[in-house]
Amino acid sequence: MIHIITVHWQEDAWVDIQLAYLHKFIGKPFKVYAFLNNLPRDHREKYFYSSTEPIRDHAVKLNILADIASFNMEGADDLLIFIDGDAFPIGDIISFGAPKLKNYPLIAVQRMENLGDIQPHPCFCMTTLKFWKDINGDWKRGYEWSNLLGNTITDVGGNLLGILREKGLEWYPLLRSNQRNLHPVFFGIYGDIIYHHGAGFRETLCRLDLETVNLTAKKLCKLLPTRRLRRKFKPEDKIIKSNELLSLRVFDMIEKDQEFYHYFQQPD
CATH code of the domain covering residue 91: 3.90.550.10
Tens digits of residue pLDDT in 193-251: 999 999 766 777 777 777 766 555 444 454 445 455 445 556 677 788 888 899 999 99
* Residues 77, 180: Cα–Cα separation, whole Å: 37
153-162 burial by CB neighbour count: b if 16+ within 10 A, else e?
bbbbbbbbbb
211 located within any domain: no
Bridge partners (DSSP) of residue 18 are: none
Position 224 scores a pLDDT of 46
User: What domain range includes position 137?
Assistant: 2-178
* Residues 220, 40: Cα–Cα separation, whole Å: 41
CB burial of residue 244 (10 Å; 0-12, 13-18, 19+): middle
131 located within any domain: yes
The identity of residue 42, as a single letter, is: D
User: Which residues of the chain are modeled with pLDDT < 50?
Assistant: 217-220, 222-224, 226, 229-230
25 located within any domain: yes
Position 208 scores a pLDDT of 76
27 located within any domain: yes
Bridge partners (DSSP) of residue 176 are: 190
221 located within any domain: no
Whether this model's pTM surpasses 0.85: yes
Query: What angle, rounded to 10 degrees, do the helices at 207-223 and 235-256 form?
Result: 150
Position 228 scores a pLDDT of 52
245 located within any domain: no
Position 223 scores a pLDDT of 45
11 located within any domain: yes
194 located within any domain: no
Position 74 scores a pLDDT of 87
Q: How far is CA 202 from the centre of its chain?
A: 11
Q: Which of 167, 74, 47 is nearest to 129 (CA)?
A: 74
The number of folded domains in the chain is 1
66-100 burial by CB neighbour count: b if 16+ within 10 A, else e?
beebeeeeeeeebbbbbbbbbbbbbbebbebbbeb
For residue 162, give the 3-state DSSP assignment: helix
